[in-house]
Structure 1
Amino acid sequence: MHLEIHDRHLTSDPSFQAWLAGRPAPVDPATQYRQYMDLISSAVARGVVIRRARIVSEPVSDYVRWEHELTGPVNIAAGERVRWLPRRLASTLALPGNPYWVFDDRLVRFSLFGGDGEVHGHQFYEDPDTIEMCRSAFEAVWERAVPHQDYKV
């Protein structure tokens, strides 16, 4: 499970920059994200359920609009299940302070973003309390979130 909570990140991505300028991406998304898509597809083929939830402000940022556009041909095509939660619906949820992945109920990887929207490091935790906190937060978000095909930006 993967919880995203930022309205912009990795904005230096050349494909995002091209999209902002109204130009085609320098590399087709299916090619740019092929390694990721192959990894996800392989896991899904083994029976792994991969869910991603994104908490977003509305009106959405340009980055979120671009991300939404890529979600179908990249994330959904690879086999992820994706939902979107408007931030106004997350006010009463207890959430960790950083976006994260939970892997196999044994490891949490938090991504540490700077004010520039770029990743400046990661933190890894294997303790059961942190894993449970992240699982619980994710499930609360997932329950309220809108499936990708129904969320309009």
Structure 2
Amino acid sequence: MFATARRTAVHLELRDAYTPDDPLFLRWLDGYVTSADIAEQEHEWAEIVRTAVGRGVTMRRVRVVSEPLAPFTRFEYEGAGALNEAAGEQVRWLPRRQAGGLCLPANDYWVLDDRLVRFGYFSGVGDYVGAELTDDPAVAEQCGSAFEGAWERAIPHKDYRPQ
């Protein structure tokens, strides 16, 4: 999917937990994983980001988070600098209490080049259950607008201090 992006790829994350049985996350919970370990284990994502950014694609991600951070969100926070940002993806954090007044979709999504939207679906505990693609211009515009509203309020990773 990212190979088709030419200008932008934006991602809005709305959950506090994903893939609760992820072995890397479970080892992190036990204190055996550092941010460098996360970056090393997730090298495939880093390569996707580096390749897209190398083609001139701007990649941005907003994580809407509850505070204090849930364990999985803290795991993501600890890896964001060494993984996402080191690869060229810009990451911001939006505490849920600062998201009031924004109209955000009910599901996580990616928007590529303001035209293709990929919704990600997860169970109540965070297991991945599927995805849906749409190129409906109205949906792409709504999701793009919601992302931009969240982006403007969100705190850059280097400045965010989780509670």
Residue 60 of structure 1: aligned partner: 69
Instruction: Give the corresponding residue for 1:4.
Output: 13
Unaligned runs of 5+ in 2: 1-9
- Tell me the secondary structure at the aligned position of residue 9 of structure 1: coil
**3-state SS of the aligned residue for 1:74?**
helix
Structure 1, unpaired ranges of 5+: none
Match of 1:75 in 2: 84
Counterpart of 2:58 in 1: which secondary structure? Answer: coil
For residues 71 and 141 of structure 1, what CA distance do their matches in structure 2 show? 18
The letter for the 2-side match of 1:104 is D
Question: Is 1:141 aligned to residue 150 of structure 2?
Answer: yes
Separation in 1, partners of 2:51, 2:107: 27
Q: Supply the AA of the counterpart residue of 1:136.
A: S
Q: Counterparts of 2:140 and 2:112 in 1: how far apart (Å)?
A: 9
1:99-120 deviations in Å (ceiling 9; x for gaps):
0000122210000010121110
Percent identity of paired positions between Structure 1 and Structure 2: 50
Using the size of structure 2 for normalisation, the TM-score is: 0.89
Task: State the AA in 2 paired with 1:3.
Answer: L
Q: CA deviation at 1:31?
A: 3.1
- The residue type paired with residue 131 of structure 2 is H
Stretches of 4+ moved more than 6 A in 1?
none
CA RMSD, Structure 1 to Structure 2 (Å): 1.4
> For 1:110-129, what aligned pairs fall within 5 Å after superposition?
110-129=119-138
Taking the aligned partners of 2:121 and 2:159, their CA distance within structure 1 comes to 30
The number of aligned residues is 152
CA deviation digits over 1:35-59, x for unaligned, max 9? Answer: 2111110111111100000000011
Q: 1:130 corresponds to which letter in structure 2? A: V
SS of 1:8's equivalent in the other structure is: coil
Letter in 1 for 2:108: P
TM-score (norm 1): 0.95
Q: Which amino acid aligns with 2:99?
A: A
